[in-house]
Chains A and B, each alone.
Chain A
Amino acid sequence: MDFLTNLALGFSVALTPFNLLMAVCGVMLGILIGALPGVGPPSGVALLLPLTFGMDPTSGIIMLAALYAGTMYGGTITAVLINTPGESASVVTCLDGHQMALQGRAGPALGIAAIGSFIAGTVGVVLLMLVSPALARWSLSFGPPETFALMLLGLTTVTLLTGENPVKGYISMVLGLMIAMVGFDIISGDARYAFGIPEMMDGVDFLPVAIGLFGLGEVLAGAEAAKGTPIAQGRYGLRDVMPTAVDWARSRWAIVRGTVLGFAVGILPGAGPTIATFLSYTLEKKVSKRPEEFGHGAIEGVAAPESANNAAATGAMVPMLTLGIPGSATTAIMLGGLMMWGLRPGPLLFEKNPEFVWGLIASQYIANVMLLILSTAFIPLFVRALRVPYGILMPIIILFCITGAYSLKNSVWDVGQMLVFGVLGYAMKKLGYSPAALTLALVLGPLAERALRQSLIISDAGAGIFFMRPISAVLTTAALAAVLVPVVRALVAAYRRRGAARVRAL
């Protein structure tokens, strides 16, 4: 009954008034941030991270984790009401959610999403609690080759899964790794690519980069569009958002399937909530007796992906906490935050900082309850927040970007860096590159380099070491497969085209 003791410890940490307040603030802010079009979970976490510097790490991460859960739901409100996903994990929700809103059923759509999120989030935390310690114990046996192979797998899968164009995805990732090389080399002490500038000798901090790419970059992309989009009318009182018995019967199993699938996808390094929503929507459509209703307001089409993204958001915490490998852009930013607080995520975290880990896990239960209460009772409030013109919100978000970048080290240099990466983020978004892959690579870069060099030092067979140890062999092969999939796909497509051309020539 080891974990019951641990959980009791966790609740004793999470239930202190201050931490409870932070969880409420996190969920509230999360729903609001998620509801703003273009400002998704990574931007929210990046912008809020500086606010938590003054707190102790446990309160800080509790707030961020609550915020993450909140943004997942906030994105849904925008998706259903104005057909613009607040963040990428709600893209699928637009399909049926907005159709329901047009049919005057926005209330039940938001209601079932809230209930599904609550069930998925709660089951997700239970799974998180059961899986993490075992995984952490197993990964204690990892040496540098396994660590490197795991990071390689995380980097290649996130790149493979985030963009439409794999070449641009890999360019983003390698660019992130190149930026990670700037600054003092931990082994030799060389100040690499610093050009004699003292600020660059310490390396490029990930926080101004993340705030620039996700905060300022998204705002600039939104700045072009002048006017807001119309909001679907409706009533959002508590009684209006309760799903009917029929809705509930149709959604029950969709929520269960979404939860299981979402958590499983979330655990995979590199595959975050967005992938989970697409997979679960496809699955529901396949198993449904009425596939023709999908896209025309089927409530399962809202329930399943909304459950899946919350379960995946919780699942993504597993590799972040136990292995130190984030499963998504958002957890990559949280990981950066942990490292700034001097906590080294990975197997030892469970042994060295139990009050931190279990406080976080317990606060996830609390955050889910808060989320259910706030999201059903306060929908009218959030709908009103959506009516604030973007022309007012945008400059305020920019100011938060500036304050956030400055507060890390009280340096205007960091603000300038944030600005540069904001422009880069805008261009990357418009041209189809992947800011998520760049951020992940920047966070993992120094750790991956150290693991790579240590592996090659202990190896007698050069790079062969990655294939000679069973765990790292499997992981490395999987990583290489992730690189090869788009190549093979492109070759097959080219071959088919040529074949078709030949047939036409005959």
Chain B
Amino acid sequence: MRGADRIAGAGLLVLAVSFSAGALAHYAYWSPNGPGPAFLPFWLGVVMAVLALLLLVGALRSREPGEDWLPRGEGLRRLAWVLGITIVLVASLNVVGMIVGTVIFLITLMRVLDRHPWPLTLAVAFAVAGFNFLVFTRWLRVPLPVGLLGF
């Protein structure tokens, strides 16, 4: 936690300074009829810089390393799988479409993480895909991402 606070503090400080500087460089701080578009962003950057410094100084002076915040071992493996597959699904949405994507996503996660039996896995995957299709596409008419196959 101490290490994470140091990194976060430094990162936020850089963000804050560039936010304020960017505001002053590109937008008007004061316009003829009052505060301009850079007014609030500039001061937000200043406040954030102060807060980031407080966080950073506190973390640098702290002597206790604090608890780990990222899981290890099995926990990290599960987290990485879930996040990784979600990213792959989102990145390929426009290719495979939501319905096919749902089926592949559910099968992969249910098999990899907990080794649920195949019949259950397939049943859940197709039931959820079907439910999504019926409720969103048919009933509520909320379009889902469509793949190259057209559904």
Residues of chain A whose beta carbon lies under 8 Å from any beta carbon of chain B: 50-51, 53-54, 167-168, 170-171, 174-175, 177-178, 181, 185, 187-188, 190, 192-193, 216, 219-220, 223-226, 389, 391-392, 394-396, 398-399, 402-403, 406-407, 410, 412, 415-416, 419, 422-423, 427, 430-432, 449, 452-454, 456-457
Contact = CB atoms under 8 A, between A and B. Distances in A.
B14 interface: no
B64 interface: no
Interface of B: 1, 4-5, 8, 12, 15, 19, 22-23, 26-28, 31, 33-37, 39-41, 44-45, 47-48, 51-52, 54-55, 58, 69-71, 74-76, 78-79, 82-83, 86-87, 89-90, 93-94, 98, 102, 105-106, 109-110, 113-114, 116, 124, 128, 132, 135-136, 140-145
B141 to A, nearest CB: 6
A177 B23 CA distance: 14
A220 B44 contact: no
Contacts of B69: 427, 430-431
B interface secondary structure, majority: helix
Contact of A223 (B33, B36, B51, B82): B82
Nearest to B52: A171
B51 A423 contact: no
Contacts of B54: 167
Contacts of A54: 140-142
Contacts of A391: 109-110, 113-114, 116
A175 B98 CA distance: 32
Contacts of B37: 185, 187-188, 190, 192
Contacts of A403: 98, 132, 136, 142, 144
Given A175-B48, A392-B116, A53 B106 contact: no
A226 B114 CA distance: 8
29 contacts: A50-B142, A51-B142, A54-B140, A167-B51, A167-B55, A171-B51, A178-B44, A178-B48, A185-B27, A188-B37, A192-B23, A193-B22, A220-B82, A224-B78, A226-B114, A391-B114, A392-B116, A395-B105, A402-B90, A403-B132, A403-B142, A406-B145, A415-B145, A419-B86, A430-B69, A431-B8, A452-B40, A453-B34, A456-B34
Given A192-B37, A396-B106, A403-B132, A431 B1 contact: yes
A260 B45 CA distance: 41
B136 A223 contact: no
A225 B79 CA distance: 9
Contacts of B35: 452-453, 456-457
A193 B105 CA distance: 35
Contact of A407 (B71, B87, B114, B143): B143
Nearest to A225: B75
A452 B36 CA distance: 11
B20 to A, nearest CB: 10
A423 B74 contact: no
A178 B44 CA distance: 7
A423 B87 CA distance: 11
Contact of A392 (B124, B132, B145): B124
Contacts of A171: 12, 48, 51-52, 55
A407 B142 contact: yes
Contact of B142 (A53, A185, A399): A53
A403 to B, nearest CB: 6
A380 B113 CA distance: 28
A173 to B, nearest CB: 9
Contacts of A51: 135, 140, 142
Given A178-B41, A452-B35, A224 B75 contact: yes
B90 A423 contact: no
Given A188-B27, A392-B116, A399-B105, A177 B44 contact: yes
A178 B110 CA distance: 39
B78 A410 contact: no
A431 B89 CA distance: 27
Contacts of B93: 402, 406, 412, 415
B40 A188 contact: no
A223 B78 contact: yes
Given A391-B114, A403-B136, A412 B34 contact: no
A223 B40 contact: no
A419 B87 contact: yes
Contacts of A185: 27, 37
In the A-B complex, the 4 residue pairs with the smallest Cβ-Cβ separation, listed nearest first, are: A457-B34, A224-B75, A391-B114, A185-B37
A402 B36 CA distance: 37
Given A431-B69, A452-B35, A419 B90 contact: yes
